[in-house]
């Protein structure tokens, strides 16, 4: 990869926090290359899906709760994922509670300087209005009526209310996924539970969201961008369609209107919940690599990964134990066998995703920015000063200790020592500081012997000392 270094601007007239700070998310254009993944929150230590064949490295009993969701969010960043389609089955416990904890984890990481993947609601009509339990009848809604449209929009309203209850800062709107300024709404099968869905106008959905959120969150006034299913019938006004839990394939392309999408799967194995079940073997990860190899960024507008953590069906790409697949106690033997990773890597599918997403997405290989600085405004002539700079990696290439540091190009300001530290714990936790994660650099430098006011120029540099781009300024006074 190219070693591109981006100079960063720090305009400081007083000392400020180096812990990090929330900043804006990314607004996507229709022409952008976006990597999305379905993301489920229906877990707690004792509830939700528990019969998946691949045990997570942290233990299934540790899934659920704010710290768990923070770790999962960091893992999605290691995977170079752009957007999380968060599963939405409003009104189903424990999913609602865990989604609220997810929102709190999301807000707290952003406050620390993590520029997280954007999120969009992934509506599940089949669970909300369909036959969720064997003794439950279908409860279809009529989209040709005001009442039916109200009922359809209600889960989306709950989703965004819960999000804004935790994410209250001025940048919160920018972390809701938008395409061409429009809020993205994803929905799974509608044809099984929505009657007359072809009679509903998109404007009817938009006006209900505007009524609820438009005054405080103007982004909703731009309208909505609908992602529907790519294989099953969907809304006639859908903007794009992706194969979502509809086909068993490692790589499956589809096109709706002028947007071409591909669904990728690492594998599938549901023998623990269905008899005899269905299997797409992982075979150590070779099929997932091959699926990514077939992605041509010149032809494919979207990559959708199914899934991050759909557990019982064994399609997740989360970090998993590489031991033998799990069997419930009532199973005496596996009907089939499979291998998670040919190299014994718990992060097999995360790392494959990161590698190929870096080739597919629109981010530079190496990039960075300074988001906060802790330094005294007034210095003594000739003194040695320690400053703390919070950087954010904004490129595809991971940072490790020794990978990046700081320099000051101005005469008289001699940087004696500069080193990346693991203040946020991501090097210990994940092995590196990945794209859009914060990192702390402590820089020791000597102030000039001559008093005066200096506009200093600080740069992020790589291990070879290369600095590229505009050098920006930090105003310092030397007495």
Q: Are 188 and 127 in contact (CB under 8 A)?
A: no
Q: Are 309 and 318 in contact (CB under 8 A)?
A: yes
Q: Are 215 and 173 in contact (CB under 8 A)?
A: no
CATH C-level class of 368-478? mainly beta
Question: 295: number of CA atoms within 13 Å, CB side?
Answer: 31
| Distance, CA of 468 to CA of 462 (rounded, Å) | 10
SS3 call for 366: coil
Task: Of 15-19, 143-147, 171-175, give the lowest mean pLDDT range.
Answer: 15-19
DSSP line for 73-105: HHHHHHTT--EEEEEE-TT-TTHHHHHHHHHHH
The domain defined by 34-360 folds into TIM Barrel (3.20.20)
Residue 440: CB partners within 8 Å, gap ≥ 6? 18, 388, 389, 390, 391, 420, 421, 423, 424
Average pLDDT over residues 381-388: 93
Q: What is the pLDDT of residue 463?
A: 76
Q: Which of 3, 137, 49, 61 is nearest to 316 (CA)?
A: 49
List pLDDT tens digits, range 340-373.
999 999 999 999 999 999 999 999 988 888 888 8
Domain-wise residue ranges, the chain: 34-360, 368-478
| Distance, CA of 85 to CA of 122 (rounded, Å) | 5
List pLDDT tens digits, range 111-148.
999 999 999 999 999 999 986 666 777 789 999 999 99
| Distance, CA of 249 to CA of 243 (rounded, Å) | 10
Strand pairing class (194-195; 83-88): unpaired
Q: Which of 218, 230, 140, 207 is nearest to 174 (CA)?
A: 218
SS3 call for 363: coil
Q: Which of 86, 120, 78, 49 is nearest to 349 (CA)?
A: 78
- This prediction's pTM: 0.92
């Amino acid at each position: 990869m190219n070693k591109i270094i981006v100079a960063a601007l720090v305009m400081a007239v007083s000392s400020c926090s180096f812990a990090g700070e929330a900043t804006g998310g990314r607004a996507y254009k229709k022409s952008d290359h976006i990597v999305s993944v379905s993301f489920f929150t229906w877990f707690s230590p004792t509830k939700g899906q528990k019969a998946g064949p691949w045990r997570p490295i942290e233990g299934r009993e540790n899934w659920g709760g704010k710290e768990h969701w923070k770790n999962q969010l960091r893992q999605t960043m290691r995977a170079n994922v752009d957007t999380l389609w968060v599963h939405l089955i409003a009104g189903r416990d424990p999913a609602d509670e865990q989604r609220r904890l997810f929102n709190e984890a999301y807000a707290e990481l952003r406050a620390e300087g993590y520029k997280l993947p954007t999120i969009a609601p992934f509506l599940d009509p089949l669970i909300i209005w369909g036959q969720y339990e064997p003794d439950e009848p279908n409860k279809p809604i009529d989209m040709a009526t005001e009442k039916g449209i109200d009922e359809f929009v209600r889960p989306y309203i709950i989703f965004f209310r819960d999000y804004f209850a935790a994410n209250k800062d001025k940048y919160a709107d920018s972390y809701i996924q938008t395409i061409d300024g429009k809020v993205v709404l994803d929905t799974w099968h509608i044809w099984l539970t929505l009657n007359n869905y072809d009679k509903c106008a998109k404007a009817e959905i938009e006006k209900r969201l505007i009524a609820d959120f438009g005054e405080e969150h103007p982004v909703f006034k731009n309208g909505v961008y609908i992602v529907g299913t790519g294989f099953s019938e969907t809304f006639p006004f859908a903007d794009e369609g992706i194969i979502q839990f509809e086909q068993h394939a490692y790589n499956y392309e589809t096109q709706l209107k002028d947007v071409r999408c591909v669904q990728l799967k690492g594998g599938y194995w549901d023998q623990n919940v269905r008899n005899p079940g269905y299997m797409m073997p992982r075979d150590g990860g070779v099929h997932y690599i091959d699926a990514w190899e077939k992605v041509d960024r010149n032809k494919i507008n979207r990559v959708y990964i199914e899934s991050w953590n759909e557990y019982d069906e064994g399609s997740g790409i989360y970090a998993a134990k590489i031991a033998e697949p799990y069997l419930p106690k009532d199973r005496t033997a596996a009907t089939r066998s499979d291998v998670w990773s040919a190299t014994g890597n718990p992060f097999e599918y995360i790392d494959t995703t990161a590698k190929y997403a870096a080739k597919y997405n629109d981010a530079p290989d190496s990039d960075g920015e300074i988001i906060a600085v802790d330094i005294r405004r007034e210095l003594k002539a000739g003194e040695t000063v320690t400053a703390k700079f919070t950087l954010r990696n904004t490129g595809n290439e991971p940072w490790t200790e020794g990978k990046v540091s700081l320099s000051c190009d101005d005469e008289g300001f001699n940087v004696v020592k500069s080193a990346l530290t693991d203040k946020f714990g991501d090097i210990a936790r994940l092995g590196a500081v990945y794209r859009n994660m914060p990192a702390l650099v402590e820089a020791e430098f000597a102030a000039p012997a001559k008093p005066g006011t200096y506009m200093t120029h600080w740069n992020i540099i790589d291990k070879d000392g290369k600095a590229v781009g505009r050098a920006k300024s930090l105003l310092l006074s030397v007495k």
